[in-house]
Amino acid sequence: MSARPLLRVLPSPHDRVPDVRFCGYCGARPEADDDRRVCGSCDMGMVLTASAAVAPQSGQPSIVIDDRLTVCAVSRAAEELLGISEDEVLNRRLVDVLAPAQAEGVGLDSLVSAVVTAVSPDSAPQRAVVRPAGEWGIRYAVRIGVCGPPRAALLVLDDDQV
């Protein structure tokens, strides 16, 4: 494993990816003319906008984190993957749900800085490797970008363990 597992993708102004709208709970993508704030598919999730490079594909686990690094939304797939319920973790700290799974000596700061960088203006999506808090031996790649409104960080877990 690399001593610096946090990959940084350099932003390219010529490589703009379009934004897509998706439900923060079930991941459904509303029709273009459907501008409701609450998802019409599950009637539970808020419809969010994010870059297509970050937004979850159907059924991909995702978590939304606000600027205080607390949990604002957990998708159904993330509830299932992590064995948590959204109610249980709302307003809890990100690190109570996901912890960095990185080489020794690289700690929490790298996950926090990936989140902070991802929501900075004109920043490219970030990548990190995480594990469920309190568990060892399970690791997931996560991509991190900005979503909203309101502006927040979107973490999408890759289904495949790394």
For binding to Zn ion (CB under 5 A), which residues are involved? 23, 25-26, 28, 39, 41-42, 45
Task: Report the residue number, 23 or 157, with the smaller CB distance to Zn ion.
Answer: 23
What whole-number distance in Å separates Cα of residue 70 and Cα of residue 153? Answer: 10
Task: Report the residue number, 23 or 98, with the smaller CB distance to Zn ion.
Answer: 23
Task: Report the residue number, 62 or 102, with the smaller CB distance to Zn ion.
Answer: 62
Give residues with Cβ within 8 angstroms of 100, minimum separation 6.
Answer: 106, 107, 108, 110, 111, 128, 129, 130, 131
Q: Which parts of 44-158 fold into alpha helices (H)? A: 76-82, 86-89, 94-97, 108-118
Q: Count, in order, helices (H) and strands (E) of the chain.
A: 4, 8
93 CA to centre of own chain? 14
Task: Report the residue number, 75 or 102, with the smaller CB distance to Zn ion.
Answer: 75
- Token readout for 73 is 């939304």
Residue 12 CB, shortest distance to Zn ion, in Å, is 32
Residue 81 CB, shortest distance to Zn ion, in Å, is 17
* DSSP structure string for 33-72: T---SB-TTTSSSBEEEEETTTSPPTT--EEEE-TTSBEE
Residue 25 CB, shortest distance to Zn ion, in Å, is 5
Residue 46 CB, shortest distance to Zn ion, in Å, is 9
Task: Report the residue number, 23 or 118, with the smaller CB distance to Zn ion.
Answer: 23
Residue 100 CB, shortest distance to Zn ion, in Å, is 29
